[in-house]
Amino acid sequence: MAAHDHFIDAFHGVSVAKVLSEEVEDVTDVDVGGAFDIAMDPIDGSGSIGICALLGMLFVIYPAGDGRFLRPGTEAVGAGYACFGHSVDVAWSLGDGVHIATLDRRAGDFRVTAERIRLKPTTSMIAVNASN
């Protein structure tokens, strides 16, 4: 629940209207006049901590709507994943491929390490950790 609360606090004042989180049952109202709705799993993989699997954060951003989150993916304006493992990586897309930034611990900021990644149309499956 701490991860959920942290993100809700961070979403105040940045035009987020509603949040659907895997951590709570109801949609959270953040800013009635916000331009975006966010669906997220703020700590994906927490059930696998005992086997040292990766942890991450998944999100999708939609234009603000009527509070329903069951929408086609084509309505999304952005989506991404943050991975907390041997490195801290953030991958996101705004519709023009996937971009990845990795935390440079010495510099204390993120550096873009890959841009405009695209899957081949014939790709049938992707996985971060297919061995689990």
- What are 100's strand-pairing partners? 91, 114
pLDDT of residue 3: 85
d(CA 114, CA 80): 14
Angle at 100 between CA 96 and CA 106, to 5 degrees: 150
For 45-81, how does the pLDDT look when each residue is reduced to its tens digit (9 = 90+)?
666 666 666 788 999 999 999 888 999 999 999 999 9
pLDDT for 12 equals 96
d(CA 87, CA 66): 38
SS3 (DSSP) at 3: helix
Q: Which residues in the chain show pLDDT less than 70?
A: 44-53, 128-132
The pLDDT assigned to 87 comes to: 87
DSSP, res 11 = H
pLDDT of 131 reads 53
Do residues 97 and 117 lie in contact, with contact meaning Cβ atoms separated by under 8 Å?
yes
User: What does the pLDDT read at residue 47?
Assistant: 64
Report the C-alpha gap between 27 and 21 in whole angstroms. Answer: 7
